[in-house]
Amino acid sequence: MIRLAIQKSGRLSEDSLKLIRECGISFVNSSLKLKTEATNFPLEILFLRDDDIPEYVADGVADIGIVGQNVLVEANQQALEVQALGFSKCRLSIAVPKTDTFNSIADLNGKNIATSYPNILGNYLAAHNVKAQIHTISGSVEIAPSIGLAEAICDIVSSGSTLISNGLREVEHVFKSEAVLISNQNLSEEKQQIIKQLLFRIQSVQKAQKSKYILLNAPNDSIEKIKSLLPGMKAPSILPLAEAGWSSVHSVVNEDDFWEIIEKLKDAGAQGILVVPIEKMIL
Ligand code: PRT
Ligand code: ZN
C-alpha cells in the first residue's frame, strides 16, 4: 500500500483526481473526508493543503504527492521530483506598477518586494547580485504596491489578467512551474514497485493525450507517399478496401504535428479522414 498526498481543494485538486482516475484507479471521494482508499489499486489518498505536501512526503507520512514545482522548491524539503504532470502550468514573476520605469533587474536594488515565495525570490536576487528587502505575505500579493507596502511584487502568473487589473507589469520571469509527482527518498522495495506501476500508467495516459488515432482511405498509388507522412508507432496498418485500387490506412499522429500532417495527407490524395482520441497508449 502507498499513500499519495494531493491538494484538498484548490487549483491542483481536480486535475490530480482526474489523473488518478485516468490511471484506472477507482475510489470514493467525499469532500468531507481527509483520506480515502482505492478499491482496485494498493493506494490511499490523503487530502491536504498544497503547502504541507512536500513536508509530509519528506517525512514519510505520505510516500508520494502531487504539488506545484513552485511549492516544492519553496518548501526546500528532501523530496524527489519523479515526474512532470503537464497541468497547472504557471510562472513566478516579478512585477512593478505599469507606469514605473524598469530597465533591468538592477533597478530593484534597495527596493521592497512583496511575495509568498521568499526562498525562490531570495535565491534569484542573490544570483543576480541584487540587494532588496523581501516582505513575505501569504496572500493578495498583487495589492502590495497600491497600499504602499512594496515597490514590486513576485507572484504566480498564469494568464496575466490579475497583474493587469492591478495596474502591474511583468518584468522578470523568476521560475517556471507545473504540477509534479514527488516521492519520499527512502521507500521500501515493495512501495517502489507499486510506484513503478503507477508511473507506468501515468506515462501511458500522458502519451495517449499527446496522440491521435487516424484512419483514412487512399488510392493505392498514394500509399507510399502517405506512409512517409504517417510513421505511426511502428509503421501504419494498410488494409485493402472493398473497392478495387483503394486502401484504408490506420496510424497514430502527434497532436503537435496534427494540422500540418492533415494538409499534406489531403494533398497526397487521402479521403474520408477520421481522427479519434486515444485513451491509453502502451509502447
Ligand atoms: O489552500 P491551499 O494552500 O491548498 O491552496 P493555495 O491557495 O495555496 O493554492 P492554489 O490552489 O491557488 O494553487 C495551487 C497551485 O496551482 C500553485 O501552487 C501553482 O503551482 C498552480 N497555479 C497555476 C496557480 C496559478 N496557476 C494561478 N494563476 N496558483 C495561483 N495562481 C494565482 C496567483 O497567485 C494570482 O493571484 O492566480 C492569480 C494569477 O492568475 P492570472 O491568470 O490572473 O495570471
Ligand atoms: Zn497553498
Q: What is the tens place of the pLDDT at every residue in 2-35?
A: 999 999 999 999 999 999 999 999 999 877 789 9
- Whether residue 232 is predicted with pLDDT greater than 80 in this model: the reply is no
Same structural domain, 82 and 123 = no
Answer yes or no: do 69 and 119 share one domain.
Answer: no
What SS3 class is residue 144?
A: coil
Specify the pLDDT at position 199: 98
Residues 162, 111 share a domain: yes
Which atom of ligand 1 is closest in space to residue 165's alpha carbon? 43
- Report how many domains make up the chain: 3
Residue 69 and residue 126 in one domain = no
Percent of the chain scoring above 70 in pLDDT: 100
Output the pLDDT for position 107: 98
What are residue 264's phi and psi, to 5 degrees? Answer: -65, -35
Cβ(54) to ligand 1 under 6 A? no
Ligand 2 centroid, distance to 118 Cα (angstroms): 14
Specify the CATH number for the domain of residue 113: 3.40.190.10
Same domain? 71 vs 103: no
Indicate whether 38 and 20 sit together in one domain.
yes
Closest residue (by CA) to atom 7 of ligand 1? 10
Q: How confident is the model at residue 98 (pLDDT cuts 50, 70, 90)?
A: very high
**In a domain? residue 129:** yes
The confidence score (pLDDT) of residue 32 equals 73
pLDDT for 258: 84
- Give the domain extent around 60: 2-87+178-207
Residues with CB under 5 A from ligand 2 (ion): 50-51
In terms of domains, do 11 and 83 share one?
yes
User: Which of 6, 8, 11, 181 to mutate to test ligand 1, by most ligand atoms within 8 A of the CB atom?
Assistant: 11
Nearest residue to 106 via CA among 157, 150, 171: 171
pLDDT score of 238: 94
What type of residue is 240?
P
Q: Whose CA is nearest to atom 35 of ligand 1?
A: 156
Residue 283: inside a domain, yes or no?
no
Q: Is residue 260 part of a domain?
A: yes
pLDDT tens per residue, range 147-172: 999 999 999 999 999 999 999 999 99
Residue nearest ligand 1's atom 1 by CA: 49
Q: Report whether residue 176 contacts ligand 1, using a CB cutoff of 6 Å.
A: no
Asked, for residue 11, whether it belongs to a domain, the answer is yes
> So what's the pLDDT on residue 234?
80
Per-residue confidence (pLDDT) for residue 283, from 0 to 100? 76
Residue in the block written with cell 507522412? 229
pLDDT of residue 33: 82
Task: Give a yes or no: residue 185 inside a domain.
Answer: yes
Ligand 1 centroid to 156 CA: how many Å?
6
Same-domain check for residues 202 and 139 = no
Alpha helices in the chain (DSSP H): 13-22, 53-59, 69-75, 118-127, 161-165, 189-209, 223-229, 258-267
* Residue 46 covered by a domain: yes
Q: Which domain CATH number covers 259?
A: 3.30.70.120
Q: Which ligand is nearest to the CA of 168?
A: 1
Q: Which ligand ends up closest to the CA of 141?
A: 1
Please check the confidence at residue 273 and state whether its pLDDT lies above 90.
Answer: yes
For residue 74, give the ligand nearest its CA.
1
Poorest-pLDDT segment among 37-51, 88-102, 255-269: 255-269
71 CB less than 6 Å from ligand 1? yes
pTM over 0.95? The answer is no
For residues 128-139, one letter each, b for 16 or more C-beta atoms within 10 angstroms of the residue's C-beta and e for the rest, the string is eebebebeebee
Q: Indicate if 61 and 189 belong to the same structural domain.
A: yes
63 and 194 fall within a common domain: yes
Residue 162 Cβ contacting ligand 1 at under 6 Å: yes
- Using CA positions, which residue lies closest to atom 31 of ligand 1? 156
> Are both 137 and 8 inside the same structural domain?
no
Question: Is there a single domain that holds both residue 8 and residue 83?
Answer: yes
